[in-house]
Amino acid sequence: MSGAPTHVTVLLSEAVEALAIRPDGVYVDGTFGRGGHSRAILSALGAEGRLIAFDRDPQAIEAGRLLADPRLTLVHAPFSALAVELERLGVACVDGVLLDLGVSSPQLDEPLRGMSFRFDAPLDMRMDTSRGQTVAEWLAEASVAQITEVLRDYGEERFAYAIAKAIAAARAGGAVATTRQLAEIVEKAVRTREPGQHPATRSFQALRIFINQELEELSLVLPAAMAHLKPGGRLVVISFHSLEDRIVKRFMRDESRPPQLPARLPVRAADLPKPRLSLVGKAARPGSDEVAANPRARSAVMRVAERTEVAA
Residue 32 annotated as part of some ligand binding site: no
Residue 281 annotated as part of some ligand binding site: no
Closest CA to 98 of 186, 206, 222, 8: 222
What would the DSSP string read from start to end of 32-101?
-TTSHHHHHHHHHS-TT-EEEEEES-HHHHHHHTTT--TTEEEEES-GGGHHHHHHHTT---EEEEEEE-
Task: Write down how long the chain is.
Answer: 312
Residue 36 annotated as part of some ligand binding site: yes
Q: How far apart are CA 240 and CA 10, in angstroms?
A: 10
Closest CA to 105 of 41, 54, 34: 34
Q: How far apart are CA 41 and CA 13, in angstroms?
A: 10
CB atoms within 10 A of CB 263: 5
Answer whether 206's CB lies under 8 Å from 139's CB.
no
Answer whether 169's CB lies under 8 Å from 161's CB.
no
Distant-in-sequence, close-in-space partners of 71: CB < 8 Å, separation ≥ 6 = 42, 45, 47, 49, 50, 51
Residue 109 annotated as part of some ligand binding site: no
Q: How far is CA 135 from CA 114, 123, 143, 169, 210, in A?
A: 9, 6, 13, 17, 9
Q: How far apart are CA 274 and CA 308, in angstroms?
A: 9
Q: At what angle do helices 201-211 and 144-155 cross, to 10 degrees?
A: 100
Q: How far apart are CA 233 and CA 19, in angstroms?
A: 8
Residue 107 annotated as part of some ligand binding site: yes
Closest CA to 128 of 116, 115, 138: 115
Annotated binding site: 35-37, 55, 79, 100, 107
Annotated binding site for S-adenosyl-L-methionine: 35-37, 55, 79, 100, 107
